[in-house]
Amino acid sequence: ARSAAPFVPEGADLAALRAAARGCEGCDLYKPATQTVFGAGPPDARLMLVGEQPGDQEDRAGEPFVGPAGKLLDRALAEADLLREGVYVTNAVKHFKFVPAERGKRRIHKTPARGEVVACLPWLHAELSEVRPELVVCLGATAAKAIMGTDYKVTERRGRVEQAGDFRVISTVHPSAVLRAPDRDEAYAAFLADLRTVRDQL
């Protein structure tokens, strides 16, 4: 099976991990992508947020959650009295997976395959070992299944603090799901409620 493991330097700090991740060829997603999008935030953050994978704008900028989903996330974090600056934000998969639009230059997000998530896990595990957050927040099913196992269902377990190995973990929906929801206000309110649960844990 493909894996990032041979590219992850042992005993490296976050800066060295980030630098090494630029050269990752642990799966094929690096080929069409612009660049690796590694996690960002303070190395001593008490909270780590884990998304799915970088989107179109993140792929161009090289930073996680800077596009539309990131804007919604920033707003919700602020409303929940959680400052984005204090949080370490990363993704389960570090390269943007996409298909070209039928016409034009747009690139359409594709959900990563399980094999790609598994291949990328050594980076997430290295980030967790370095940051040692008090609480990990999974944003959506891809992150939740990466950390809690493939049986995990966000719809059934969101908003609940659970123990997963060394870490306390909670899940909520992905901010992109809030943007796409038929009733966006309701979806946003539920997302915010989960982030307030997070805030109350710290």
> Where do contacts with ligand URA occur on this chain (CB under 6 A)?
51-55, 58, 64-65, 67, 69-70, 91, 176
What is the closest distance, in whole angstroms, from the C-beta atom of residue 10 to ligand URA in the complex?
26
Nearer residue to ligand URA within complex by CB, 10 or 85: 85
Residue type, 174: H
What is the closest distance, in whole angstroms, from the C-beta atom of residue 67 to ligand URA in the complex?
6
Nearer residue to ligand URA within complex by CB, 17 or 143: 143
- Report which residue's Cβ sits closest to ligand URA: 51
78: left (phi over 0), alpha (psi -120 to 50) or beta: alpha
What is the closest distance, in whole angstroms, from the C-beta atom of residue 25 to ligand URA in the complex?
21
Nearer residue to ligand URA within complex by CB, 118 or 139: 139
Among 164, 128, 120, which Cα is nearest to 49's? Answer: 128
What is the closest distance, in whole angstroms, from the C-beta atom of residue 176 to ligand URA in the complex?
6
**Rounded Cα distance, 166 and 183, in Å:** 36
Nearer residue to ligand URA within complex by CB, 59 or 130: 59
**Rounded Cα distance, 180 and 134, in Å:** 30
Nearer residue to ligand URA within complex by CB, 58 or 116: 58
Nearer residue to ligand URA within complex by CB, 58 or 127: 58
Among 12, 3, 127, 4, which Cα is nearest to 64's? Answer: 127
What is the closest distance, in whole angstroms, from the C-beta atom of residue 54 to ligand URA in the complex?
5
CA atoms within 13 A on the CB side of 202: 21
What is the closest distance, in whole angstroms, from the C-beta atom of residue 80 to ligand URA in the complex?
18
* β partners of residue 148: none
CA distance from start to end of the chain: 38
Q: Give the Å distances, CA to CA, from 16 to 22, 69, 82, 119.
A: 10, 28, 27, 19
